[in-house]
Homo-oligomer: A and B are copies of this chain.
Amino acid sequence: MPKLVDHDKRKKHIAEATWRVILEQGMEGATVRNIAKEAGISLGALRYYFSTQDDLLVYAMELVKEQAEARINQIVVEDLPPKETIVKILMELVPATEETMAEMEVWFAFIAYSRHKEAGFDARQDGILHGISHMIHYLYKTKLLKEGLDVDLETEKLYALVDGLALHAMLDPNRINRQRLLGVLTSHIDSICKE
C-alpha cells in the first residue's frame, strides 16, 4: 500500500521549521539546507514541496497572514462590544504573545530580505491596512467615531500606530510589553470614540 502523506500538514511542518531557523539564525541562515535539517527531512523532500528558497519564504509569510486572520475571525464571532472587539483584534497584530512575537520576527526579516529582491509576496499587501480601514469605517457608520474626524486620516494613523508599536515591541520587548501595548491601543481607540 502506498504511504499516505498529508501534503498540507507537511508543508506547514516545513514552514514552521523555516520560522524556527529564521528566529534563531536570522534570514541569512534560512537556507534550504538548514531548513531541511530543522524539519528533519531530506533536501529532496523539501524541494518536492518548495522548488526555490523564495517559494518557501513566501509560503511561511502567507502562513503568518493566515494564522493572524484565523485568530481575528475567532474574535469577530465572539460578538463583544465594538471598542472591545477592535482593541482585541489590534492586540493580535502586535507582538503581545510568543506567537505574535515570532510572527513579527518573521515579518520583519522577510521585509528586510525582500527589500532588494523580487519576491512573490508584497509586504504592502499584508491585509492590515485593509482591516484597519474596515474598523474605522465601522466606527464611523455606527456613529461611535467622534464627530469631525477624517476616516481616511484616522485609518492611516491607526495603521502607523500599530506597526510602530509592533516594531518597538520587537526591538525592546521589556519596555513595550503586553500591558503597555494594551494601554496604548486602548487609550488611542478611546481617544477617537465618543464616550
Is the beta-carbon distance between A153 and B115 smaller than 8 angstroms? no
A25 is contacted by which of B116, B123, B172 (Cβ under 8 Å)?
B116
CA distance A94 to B176 in the complex (A): 21
CA distance A150 to B191 in the complex (A): 12
List the B residue with the shortest CB-CB distance to A150. Answer: B187
Given contacts A28-B28, A108-B112, A187-B150, contact A163 B168 (CB under 8 A): yes
Q: Is A101 an interface residue (CB 8 A)?
A: no
- Looking at the assembled complex, report how far the CB atom of A100 sits from the nearest CB atom of chain B, in whole angstroms: 16
List the B residue with the shortest CB-CB distance to A123. Answer: B171
List the B residue with the shortest CB-CB distance to A165. Answer: B160
Q: Is A184 an interface residue (CB 8 A)?
A: yes
Q: Is A109 an interface residue (CB 8 A)?
A: yes
Q: What count of chain A residues pass the 8 Å CB interface test? A: 36
Q: Which residues of B contact A112 (CB under 8 A)?
A: 27, 108-109, 111-112
Given contacts A116-B26, A153-B183, A187-B153, contact A111 B159 (CB under 8 A): no
- Looking at the assembled complex, report how far the CB atom of A174 sits from the nearest CB atom of chain B, in whole angstroms: 10
Q: Which residues of B contact A187 (CB under 8 A)?
A: 150, 153, 157
Given contacts A112-B112, A153-B183, A183-B153, contact A164 B171 (CB under 8 A): no
Q: Is A161 an interface residue (CB 8 A)?
A: yes
Is the beta-carbon distance between B157 and A168 smaller than 8 angstroms? no
Q: Which residues of B contact A191 (CB under 8 A)?
A: 191
Q: Is A32 an interface residue (CB 8 A)?
A: no
Q: Which residues of B contact A156 (CB under 8 A)?
A: 165, 176, 180, 184
Q: Is A188 an interface residue (CB 8 A)?
A: yes
A188 is contacted by which of B105, B157, B163 (Cβ under 8 Å)?
B157
Q: Is A39 an interface residue (CB 8 A)?
A: no
Q: Is A162 an interface residue (CB 8 A)?
A: yes
Q: Is A151 an interface residue (CB 8 A)?
A: no
